[in-house]
Chains A and B, each alone.
Chain A
Amino acid sequence: EPEVTQTPSHQVTQMGQEVILRCVPISNHLYFYWYRQILGQKVEFLVSFYNNEISEKSEIFDDQFSVERPDGSNFTLKIRSTKLEDSAMYFCASSFTGGAIFSNQPQHFGDGTRLSIL
C-alpha cells in the first residue's frame, strides 16, 4: 500500500540554524499538509498546500516557516532560524481530495521527523 515517507527520522540542529524537513507524499495525491506535535501535546495543524501554493496556514506558521514542492514528488518544510520551541515531531500528510465540499478522502500521514533544537 502506498505511503507517505519522511526524512530524516530525527534531526538535531543548533538554535538559529536553518532546517529542511522532507516528505514524499503518495504519488497521485493533490493536497499536502504539515502538522506538528510537541511532546505530550496535541497534533497541531501548520499548513495546507494545493496547486503549488499555500491554501491555509495556522498562527504557528510564521515568517520563519516556508513550504515548497520543488519537483513532482517532494514536499518540504523549511524553518529559517530555529528556536528551542520548534522542537517537536513534524508530520507530513497528503490526500487525493481536500478542497471540494463533498470530498471525503482521508489524509494519510508519514511517521514524522523528530526535530530537536539545542
Chain B
Amino acid sequence: DAKTTQPPSMDCAEGRAANLPCNHSTISGNEYVYWYRQIHSQGPQYIIHGLKNNETNEMASLIITEDRKSSTLILPHATLRDTAVYYCIVRVFTSGTYKYIFGTGTRLKVLA
C-alpha cells in the first residue's frame, strides 16, 4: 500500500496558487517525499522532492512540516495546463532498491 494519503480532488482558479496536501505520518527520518503529476495517460512527470527543508524549483514549491508527517505542494500561479493527477510518493526500499508505490493521487482541476 502507498505510504501517503491525499484528497481525491481539488479545484483551483486559474492564476491562483494551488496548494495540494499530503499526509505521510509513517515516514522515517531518512525518507524523501516525491511529487509527480500525470496529465491524461501520459507518463508521470517529476515535479520536486525533499527531505525536511522546504524546496523550490521552476515548477513548484514543497513545504514539509517540521515533524515531517505531512507536506504541501504549491503551484504558485496555476494554469489550465496544470490540470492533472498529482501524486505524493514516499519510496519503499526492498531487495536492495527503491520502488514507488502510487496511491490514487489528487485530481486537480484548474478552472478558467
**Pairwise interchain contact A33-B42, C-beta atoms closer than 8 A:** no
Which B residues touch A37, using CB under 8 A? 41
**Pairwise interchain contact B42-A112, C-beta atoms closer than 8 A:** yes
**Pairwise interchain contact B97-A99, C-beta atoms closer than 8 A:** yes
Closest to A95 in B: B98
**Pairwise interchain contact B99-A48, C-beta atoms closer than 8 A:** yes
Additional A-B contact list (16), CB under 8 Å, known A4-B43, A43-B100, A48-B97: A42-B102, A42-B103, A44-B102, A45-B99, A45-B101, A48-B99, A55-B97, A56-B96, A56-B97, A98-B98, A99-B96, A101-B30, A107-B46, A109-B43, A110-B43, A111-B42
Which A residues touch B96, using CB under 8 A? 50, 55-56, 99
Q: How many A-B residue pairs have CB under 8 A?
A: 68
Partner of B49, one of A4, A104, A108: A104
Assuming the contacts A89-B41, A106-B34, A109-B43, asked whether A56 and B104 have C-beta atoms less than 8 A apart, the reply is: no
**Pairwise interchain contact B30-A102, C-beta atoms closer than 8 A:** yes
Q: Is A103 an interface residue (CB 8 A)?
A: yes
10 residue pairs, one from A and one from B, having the closest CB atoms: A109-B43, A56-B95, A43-B102, A55-B97, A111-B43, A48-B97, A106-B46, A45-B99, A109-B44, A104-B32
Q: Is A75 an interface residue (CB 8 A)?
A: no
Which A residues touch B104, using CB under 8 A? 42
Q: Is B51 an interface residue (CB 8 A)?
A: yes
Which B residues touch A89, using CB under 8 A? 41
Which residues 37-80 in B have Cβ within 8 Å of A in the complex?
Answer: 38, 41-46, 49, 51
CA separation between A80 and B93, bound complex, in Å? 29
Partner of B97, one of A44, A98, A110, A112: A98
Which B residues touch A110, using CB under 8 A? 43
Contact with B along A20-60 (1 / 0, CB 8 A): 00000000000101010101001111001010000110000
